[in-house]
Structure 1
Amino acid sequence: MKIFNCNNCNNIIFFENDICGYCNSLLGYCNEEEKIIAANPGTDFRENRTTLKYCRNHEHSACNWLIPENSGFEYCEACQLNSVIPNIGDEKRLEEWRLIEFAKHRLIYSLNKLQLPFVFQQKDRKDLKLQFRFLGPGTNSKNGQQVLTGHLNGVITLNVEEADDLKREKARMQMGEKMRTLLGHFRHEIGHFYWEAIILPNQENLRQFREIFGDERKNYSEALQEYYKKGPAKDWREFFITKYASSHPWEDWAETWAHYLHIMDTVETAYYFGVKTEPKVSKDKQLLSSGITINPYKESDFDAIVNEYISLTIAINSLNRGMGLSDIYPFILNNKDISKLGYIHNLLLNNQGKTF
């Protein structure tokens, strides 16, 4: 994620800000220009002679994106993707939804950086369109049944209770997961969407996928039942990025895709902050030293990206431990993981601006 500055006072500001903490100017994110702009006196936003307005969800403090005033739309690109939102008349659900939107907008930012479309026309099949449903038990869900987070035919469903830190942490512990976040959910489920969009319809992509991740024609339900019954194989660390990735090739792809987005976002953030690590006690300083000089969205060499990422996360994990917190990235990437991540990077890089 980039960092920004207020074009009124030059103060540093961040992606979710809608007001400058220094000069009190109203702020909005201009998606097309990838920058945050300050309002002129009288709360008038202008960019390239175009008058802009807030997305309608700004009135709920759930979005700070701007759209052209004469566009005919009330919602920004990210909010237009919502098909169902929680009952925002319920204060608790409203706060959960705000947190969900903050995470979802970060996801959309990353997808735009990767030049990934949200609608795919497919031969002999209905167009695949990305949509989001945010459901709360007992409110939007049918008959009060448990809401399961997942993806189906372009629709990503998220249980809004994932925005409750206590409930999400409880679920993380019960599932034996090292990390569970709202943004992580989005990154995982969007992986399933893009598998259906760019792998399934393309025979060459599908062939490469099966060669790298395995044959997805393996019965999915039976594979998950087997995984939850017996757990992962003892040697899973040699082949998969997480335990869950070992359950089925689809989940291997989605978990790897999510970690790819983790890496890209983290390295971009470090790049814009000018982060540099140079341990004073390492025998092999080259191993852990890193000046983050790479904007990952403009770098073709994934090995260069991941090398900087590994050095960076070792430093950040150590900082977290100094505060008594868990590691920010509690995973060890092996050569197999890096190969899979590199495949995704090259796949996207080689198809930027194309329809796959």
Structure 2
Amino acid sequence: MRAFSCPICQRLVTFESDRCLHCGAAMAFDPATRGLVALDFGTVAVADAATQAVEGRERCANAVLVGCNWLAPPEATPEGESPALCASCALTRTRPADDDAEGLERLAGAERQKRRLHFELLELGLPIANGQREEGGLIFDLLSSANEPVTTGHADGVITMDLAEEDDAHREAMREQLNERYRTVLGHLRHEVGHYYWTVLVGAAGDEERLARARELFGDDREDYGEALDRHYAEGAPEGWQEQHVSAYATMHPAEDWAETFAHYLHLWDALQTAASYRVSVAGPAHVTDPSGTFAGRVADPVVGRFPEALEQWLPLSYALNALNRSLGNEDLYPFVLAPPIVEKLAFVDRAVAAAAGAPTADAAA
């Protein structure tokens, strides 16, 4: 995630900000420019003609319901009518009813994470298709399981999320029950869209060589899913799975290996972009010999198609993040070890993303 500043006074604000705490200017996120724009000047007198507030644009219709700070599409709100949904909220097909207070509270948290996901997909240049099913785009069903069971998953571009995952106690109980290292709502969303992007980037890309290479790395996606699921929950992950897979769940089926790896790629890319945006520098301890240049200094923005460079930055950054977390009495912030086969899979995901985004790759021959 990039760092953002108030478009009026240039003070630091967050991606979720709808008003500057310094000058009071109202603002909204514009997905067309991937930046925050001012809706008024707040308390600041602006003489610079280049600094203007956006006129004639409305906030998303979900501004009050879920705290959405995105702009509705331009010219989508005729004068005198209610504002339209923003590009992110428009992807949600089903949500809790208006009288479901708990469901709506959890919906607000899930939508906040979905906007972060949406932003990253835009930054990566990945197609989203505006959520129109006839166009094969993404759609989200964000459902409460308070009254009936909900299974989080993906089917033909439809992402279903059980909003119980927004409850910390429920999510932690599930994480311990399934012996997971990491479980967040954003992680769920990244994993499920990974299934969608298998179809977009590999399965329907028309590149037989890429599909063959994917099956070499992840396994044959045509393997019976039901049988694989039963086997996984009966036997668990095979011994030594850490040498080939980023998580135990990734061992269940090639489709899950791809989705877990894709989600991990998004984790790393977003964390590196955040570190670069805040100008984080990892020089390493002064007394430690570093002949290989592991601690290269300031983190640079990750670039699609250049995964080896991103990985060189990620490793020292993750060392420092884990050391900081341990200093606070917590477990490792990044509890993963990237064995060479996992790195190879991540690099494949990066090349597939680069191909969809039209970006060159640093290791196209790999």
Q: What is the TM-score of this pair, normalised by structure 1?
A: 0.90
Q: Which of 262, 270, 275 is the aligned partner of 1:265?
A: 270
- The answer to whether the aligner puts 1:256 opposite 2:266 as a matched pair is no
Structure 1 residue 199: Cα displacement:
1.7
Provide, for residues 43-78 of structure 1, a one-character-per-residue CA deviation record: whole Å limited to 9, x for no partner: 9xx979763210111022431001345224701111
8 Å contact kept, 2:38–2:54: no
The code of the aligned residue for 1:160 comes to L
Provide, for residues 182-233 of structure 1, a one-character-per-residue CA deviation record: whole Å limited to 9, x for no partner: 0000000000011122322233332221121111121111111111111111
8 Å contact kept, 2:39–2:55: no
Q: Could you say which residue in structure 2 is the equivalent of 1:280?
A: 286
| 1:220-231 equivalence runs, <5 A | 220-231=225-236
Q: Which of 153, 159, 162 is the aligned partner of 1:159?
A: 162
Q: Distance in 1 between matches of 2:89 and 2:28?
A: 15
- The answer to whether the aligner puts 1:190 opposite 2:193 as a matched pair is yes
8 Å contact kept, 2:7–2:38: yes
Q: Which moved more, 1:96-105 or 1:15-24?
A: 15-24
Structure 1 residue 167: Cα displacement:
0.4
Q: Which of 268, 289, 314 is the aligned partner of 2:295?
A: 289
Provide, for residues 298-338 of structure 1, a one-character-per-residue CA deviation record: whole Å limited to 9, x for no partner: 35321110111111111111111111222221101111111
8 Å contact kept, 1:267–1:292: no
| 1:130-145 equivalence runs, <5 A | 130-139=138-147, 144=148
Q: Distance in 2 between matches of 1:148 and 1:259?
A: 22
The code of the aligned residue for 1:284 comes to D
Q: Distance in 1 between matches of 2:272 and 2:62?
A: 30
Q: Structure 1 residues 104 and 299, CA, compared in 2 at 3 Å: closer, same or farther?
A: closer
| 1:1-356 equivalence runs, <5 A | 1-41=1-41, 51-72=56-77, 74-119=84-129, 127-139=135-147, 144=148, 146-201=149-204, 202=206, 203-278=208-283, 279-284=285-290, 286=292, 288-296=294-302, 298-353=303-358
8 Å contact kept, 1:6–1:13: yes
Structure 2: runs of 5+ lacking an equivalent: 44-50, 78-82, 360-366
Structure 1 residue 94: Cα displacement:
1.9
The code of the aligned residue for 2:258 comes to W
What is the RMSD computed on CA atoms of the aligned residues?
Answer: 2.4
Q: Could you say which residue in structure 1 is the equivalent of 2:46?
A: none
Q: Structure 1 residues 48 and 326, CA, compared in 2 at 3 Å: closer, same or farther?
A: same
Q: Distance in 2 between matches of 1:236 and 1:206?
A: 23
8 Å contact kept, 1:287–1:311: no
Q: Distance in 1 between matches of 2:267 and 2:195?
A: 16
Q: Structure 1 residues 47 and 341, CA, compared in 2 at 3 Å: closer, same or farther?
A: farther
The code of the aligned residue for 1:39 comes to L
8 Å contact kept, 2:201–2:352: no
SS in 1 for 2:232: helix
The structure in which a higher percent of residues are strand is 1
Q: Distance in 2 between matches of 1:162 and 1:332?
A: 26
Q: Which moved more, 1:81-90 or 1:47-56?
A: 47-56
Q: Structure 1 residues 187 and 155, CA, compared in 2 at 3 Å: closer, same or farther?
A: same
Alignment length (residue pairs): 343
Provide, for residues 132-169 of structure 1, a one-character-per-residue CA deviation record: whole Å limited to 9, x for no partner: 00111245xxxx2x211000011000000000001000
SS in 1 for 2:72: strand
Percent of aligned positions that are identical: 35
Structure 1 residue 287: Cα displacement:
5.2
The code of the aligned residue for 2:96 comes to P
Q: Distance in 2 between matches of 1:2 and 1:64?
A: 16
SS in 2 for 1:54: coil
Q: Structure 1 residues 153 and 86, CA, compared in 2 at 3 Å: closer, same or farther?
A: same
Structure 1: runs of 5+ lacking an equivalent: none
The code of the aligned residue for 1:8 comes to I
Structure 1 residue 22: Cα displacement:
1.4
Q: Distance in 1 between matches of 2:327 and 2:19?
A: 32
Q: Could you say which residue in structure 1 is the equivalent of 2:362?
A: none
